[in-house]
Amino acid sequence: MEELKQKLSDILKPDKKNRRHLIYLLQAVQQKSGYLSKEAMLAIADFLDIPGSTVYGIATFYNQFRFTPLGKHPVKVCMGTACHLVGGKLVLEAMARELDIEVGGITPDHEFSLDRVACVGCCALAPVVVIGDSVYPKMTPPKVEEALVIIKPVSQEQSEKQ
């Protein structure tokens, strides 16, 4: 715990030692680590001197937080209004089916993780998926498979070389 607190010392600063900063602390830790581990949530609880169950309860209330690490290729399906209106939900379902994981999950080989996100800022291209740093515009369920087929072989080759 002390080691983790040390690692998070740039976030768990004395001026943030107040329960009203809980959401900020959760966001900052997720930003830094890519997700909220059980240990990180307990470190925040200890820092704020509140029960771990309170931190967990609040973190799980908001769908902006994830509780498993990000994959090597984080897949983010935009569920902002523009994307939602033109089939974002179908794209998200197709992505979950294709990767065989649930939203917030990660594939067993740690290659892909899947999240729904709010507007990524390119509504004219809706529905949008972001995989790593690449934006995939005007997505449809069949295009989901195409996008992943392009990434998977490259990713597998790199894994074999390592």
Contact residues for ligand FES, defined by CB under 6 A: 78, 80-83, 119-123, 126, 128
* Residues paired with residue 77 on neighbouring β-strands, in sequence order: 116, 129
Min. distance of Cβ 33 from ligand FES in angstroms? 25
130 or 151: CB nearest ligand FES: 130
Min. distance of Cβ 125 from ligand FES in angstroms? 7
58 or 135: CB nearest ligand FES: 135
Instruction: Name the residue whose CB lies closest to ligand FES.
Output: 80
23 or 119: CB nearest ligand FES: 119
Q: Give the whole-angstrom CA distance, residue 116 versus residue 129.
A: 9
Min. distance of Cβ 135 from ligand FES in angstroms? 9
82 or 90: CB nearest ligand FES: 82
For the chain, give the longest Cα–Cα distance.
Answer: 50
The residue whose two tokens read 């005007």 is: 138
Q: Give the whole-angstrom CA distance, residue 27 versus residue 7.
A: 16
Alpha-carbon dihedral angle through residues 116, 121, 127, 130, given to the nearest 10 degrees: -60
Q: Identify the CA nearest to 50 among candidates 26, 30, 66.
A: 26
Min. distance of Cβ 120 from ligand FES in angstroms? 5
Min. distance of Cβ 78 from ligand FES in angstroms? 3
36 or 128: CB nearest ligand FES: 128
